[in-house]
Amino acid sequence: MYPVYQKRMRIISRNLIGYLLISAALFITASCSTPPQENTMKNEPQNSTICCDDSIMITAHRGGSGLAPENTLAAFKSGIEQDADALEMDIHMTSDGHLVVVHDPSVARTTGKTVVVETSTLAEIKKLDAAAKYFGKAFGSQQIPTLEEVLDLNDGKLWLQIEIKMRSDGSRYPDIESRLLQILEAYEILDRVIIISFDFPTLKTIKVLNPAVLTGALAGKAYLSSVGAKGPDEVVRQIKESGADYVGISHTYLNNSLFGSFREAGLGVGVWTVNTIEDMRKYIELGVDFITTDRPDLLRHCL
Ligand code: G3P
Ligand code: CA
């Protein structure tokens, strides 16, 4: 062969090998877990989604607060449209005894108005705009919903993870547990609910009122840096003692060993708040029971 021809052939075969390697890599990536790009509402560019099987409950955190104003009907509608399995929400109680779905005891962060839920009536809460601080105006104004409004919207479709929050001073709303159970019973949705809380006495009260209702003990930074410092056995002991069926852990604190301890104790395990595909992959592989995310559009049951 002529040297120039040989050189050209070398270049062609090098390009061919490169092309084959790239094609193989693309094929492997696509067949592992990444279906075609989805065109969904989003607050940042995303190139793909990740698949998990039906054993994982895809839970839309505050309805999916990366896609719509948190804890609003717009967010819960979006969570349903995104095919999540469960809607996560936070509840507080108004001065006239209504359960409202909002994260903070004082709602300035989301509404721009310094209003405290426990000292306000439902009528006063209803005047606020829960989307006032949300980026963009795509959703217009949104009221803080009552729990019943969210249940009406959901219409029994998705599971619910309902988090009982505390008052501004960290104390419990009197009888919030029985009020919550009353409403869920009236809506006949007690068998599709996990009641979650950072406050373990709240969870114990739920189990006393109705032992059949599933509960989840939340473990976050504060808890894990205090009790967690005593070691995993103490964490597991306290969570078991709360009567919880699940532990919902701030995901950065979960490792293989702690996961093993939870499993050994017979606990279901969920992680929050997991918002990247990379982290989602990690917890899918670990075998958690639920992944709570602000971006339910990134996680799909496509296996
Ligand atoms: O699902 C648990 C998670 O919601 C707890 O944290 O602050 O978002 O209520 P937070
Ligand atoms: Ca919550």
Dump pLDDT digits (tens) for 265-293. 999 999 999 999 999 999 999 999 999 99
Give the residue-averaged pLDDT of 19-45.
36
Give the residue-averaged pLDDT of 122-128.
98
Residue 143 φ/ψ, nearest 5 degrees: -80, 160
Q: What is the pLDDT of residue 46?
A: 55
pLDDT for 19 beyond 80: no
Q: What is the pLDDT of residue 140?
A: 95
Q: Which atom of ligand 1 is nearest to the CA of 270?
A: 1
The residues lining ligand 1, judged by C-beta closer than 6 Å to any ligand atom, are: 61, 88, 90, 103, 163, 196, 218, 248, 272, 292
Q: Residue 41 belongs to what H/E stretch? A: none
Give the residue-averaged pLDDT of 287-302.
98
Closest Cα to atom 4 of ligand 1:
61
- Percent of the chain exceeding pLDDT 70 equals 84
Instruction: Print burial letters for 234-254: b (CB count within 10 Å at least 16), e (below 16).
Output: ebbebbeebbbbbbbbbbebb
Q: What is the pLDDT of residue 202?
A: 98
Residue 250 φ/ψ, nearest 5 degrees: -60, 120
Q: What spacing in Å lies between the alpha carbon of 61 and ligand 2's midpoint?
A: 7
Catalytic residue among 92, 98, 103, 251: 103
Q: Which atom of ligand 1 is nearest to the CA of 198?
A: 5
Give the residue-averaged pLDDT of 168-181.
98
> Across the chain, what does the average pLDDT equal?
88
pLDDT for 254 beyond 70: yes
pLDDT for 33 beyond 60: no
